[in-house]
Amino acid sequence: MSAVSGALSSRFVRTTTEIYGRYQYTDCFGKDHYLRVYVVYRVCMNTENTAGDNTVWTDQKSLLQKNDEKCVDPRKHLTET
């Protein structure tokens, strides 16, 4: 989650979230400049043996498998895309 406040809030354009929920970015426009602020969540190192059933790592791995991604390790996939 991210928020824009103060003088920048009048320049806010949009917030976009990636399909796997790992990052989002907020766009703001000024008179002469463009600003894009990223908020990134990278899951901790896990394996199928150490990750629990109700973890973000497991949720992201399931989504990557459903979308037939070549790399289904959520941590590696974030840095490779």
- Which sequence spans correspond to the domains of the chain? 1-41, 46-81
Query: Which tens digit of pLDDT belongs to each residue from 28-78?
Result: 998 888 899 999 888 888 777 777 778 888 888 899 999 998 989 888 888
Burial zone of 10 (CB within 10 Å; 0-12 exposed, 13-18 middle, 19+ buried): exposed
Q: What is the DSSP string of 40-72?
A: E--PPP--TTTS-TTSHHHHHHHHHHHTT-S--
Residue 7 has pLDDT above 80, yes or no: no
